[in-house]
Chain A
Amino acid sequence: MTETALLYMVVGVVLFGMGLFALVAYPHLLRKILAMNVMGTGTFMVFIAIAHNGDNQPIDPIPHALVITGIVVAVCSTGLALALASQVQALTGQPRIDGSEREE
């Protein structure tokens, strides 16, 4: 495992942890969506770091294909999540989920 790959694997894991904390702790929906994207990016970083064989060596292309697929799927899920968040705001007046939805 080269040094750069190891460094970026650790960075990926820490990004995943930050995203997980923000997803659980903050109630605003837009923040949760940002946190999910950061978590996904951290996971992709671990994948690509595993596929790294050395600075000018041939790479392992299967994790690259998985990550490209993953990026596109993440964008689709973000789009759907944003549509749902807009609906939550239209129905309850606040784009937050913390158990204190207002009654109309």
Chain B
Amino acid sequence: LSVLAAPAMAAEKVYKLKMAEGWPTNFPIFGDSPRNMAKMAEEMSNGRLKITIDSANKHKAPLAIFDMVKGGQYDMGHTASYYWKGKDPNTLFFTTMPFGMTAPEQYAWFYFGGGMELMEKVYKRHRMLSFPGGNTGVQMGGWFRKEINSVDDLKGLKMRIPGFAGEVLAELGAKPTNIATGELYTSLERNTIDALEWVGPSLDLRMGFHKIAPYYYTGWHEPATELQFLINERSWKKLPKDLQEILRVAMRTAAYDMYIQSTHASGENWATMTQEYPNIQVKRFPTEVIEAMRTANDKLLKEKAEANPVAKEIIESQAQYLKQVRAWTNIADKQYLDSIAGE
């Protein structure tokens, strides 16, 4: 009898994981993804896997989730990989890249094109696992107070645009500028900066930028921003096989759910914005500007590939995969949208 009882008892053990998210309490969309995930994991495991979530309001360190998960203060994190590029340059590639893949293309790369393996390779060094954590879809190129008609218009342009995209613009003479989030609105309103990028209608609406900047440029720099679930390796290994699998499925489902939720919210909020402010002018960067950005982007990627063998491997994998999958996207999605668009 005792032989039979033991595994039954063991199966009832409840595993508790603490997760830190990089967003404030009640933050729409981004904050829904980890909560959906935790709820699914708990229900699928019949209550054996309980995940509690601390928001940035509680842990105060949204830009140190990497360290807190690595150090074991938290078992998991919900954040984005490119925030860690200052700690490990190779983490940059697992969120989104300028001129890179769209969300469906990038998911295909992660799960069928070798992306997950490369991500594992990068995070293994830090004794962590990383999984896709939800996609925003194409992010907008940002709010501009003045029109960009040529590469010259980018020269001296003071823009809040962090990370790698900022480096690309700096190559063209723009001046990426740091402004505290709380002072962004005032800075744009008073021309302390000329432009800024945030996300897209899903999250830009509540920032109110559309009231003070007339031009809304379409995206080029973050075509498919993928968030990230980070897990401490020791916490992962403590879970029995079935719970690991439940967690894996919950994360993958929550990530996809966030992608469609973003699409939904962007559509809804875009309608609100254009209704309230019919004067918003949606603009596309001229071809000349886009080409200059692409050249700068390629140059910087080449430098990164030369500096680091793992970076080289990732950049090549992404480039090859993009080339193949894009040919299909172009004759499928793009042709479909173009051919039915009419005038």
Is B one of A's binding partners?
A: no
